[in-house]
Amino acid sequence: MAAKTSGTSPGKRRKYDEVFKAEALRLASESRSTQAAARQLGISPKLLYRWQQAQLVAEVGSEEVARDPEVRALRARLKRAEQELDI
């Protein structure tokens, strides 16, 4: 089986600007699936999850608070309520 080659040389990482990251995070928040959003953008789901975690830490100010299960549950509830209001 032949390996696919991309336009970049192996070992080089692609860099994404803040505009792309913001758009990716917006798409992921509007999508039902972060993995589907990552696939649509052509990036790794793990990378998108890392960006989401970094955004959450920046919003709450602490990684410890961001990982708190109660905070995560409340944020999920808020997201669902906002989606219901949009409908």
Q: Please write the tens of the pLDDT for every residue from 15-42.
A: 898 999 999 999 988 888 889 999 999 9
pTM: 0.64
Token output for 12: 């080089």
Q: What integer is the mean pLDDT of 44-50?
A: 93
Q: Whose structure tokens read 């920046």?
A: 58
Q: What is the DSSP string of the chain?
A: -PPP--SSPTTPPP---HHHHHHHHHHHHHSS-HHHHHHHHTS-HHHHHHHHHHHHHHHHS-HHHHT-HHHHHHHHHHHHHHHHHH-
Model confidence band, residue 8 (pLDDT cutoffs 50, 70, 90): low
* The predicted structure's pLDDT at residue 61: 79
Mean pLDDT of the chain, nearest integer: 82
Q: Can you tell me the distance from the alpha carbon of 27 to that of 41, in angstroms, rounded to the nearest whole number? A: 9
User: Which residue would you say has higher pLDDT here, 37 or 59?
Assistant: 37
| Percent of the chain clearing pLDDT 90 (strictly above) | 26
Domain boundaries along the sequence of the chain: 18-86
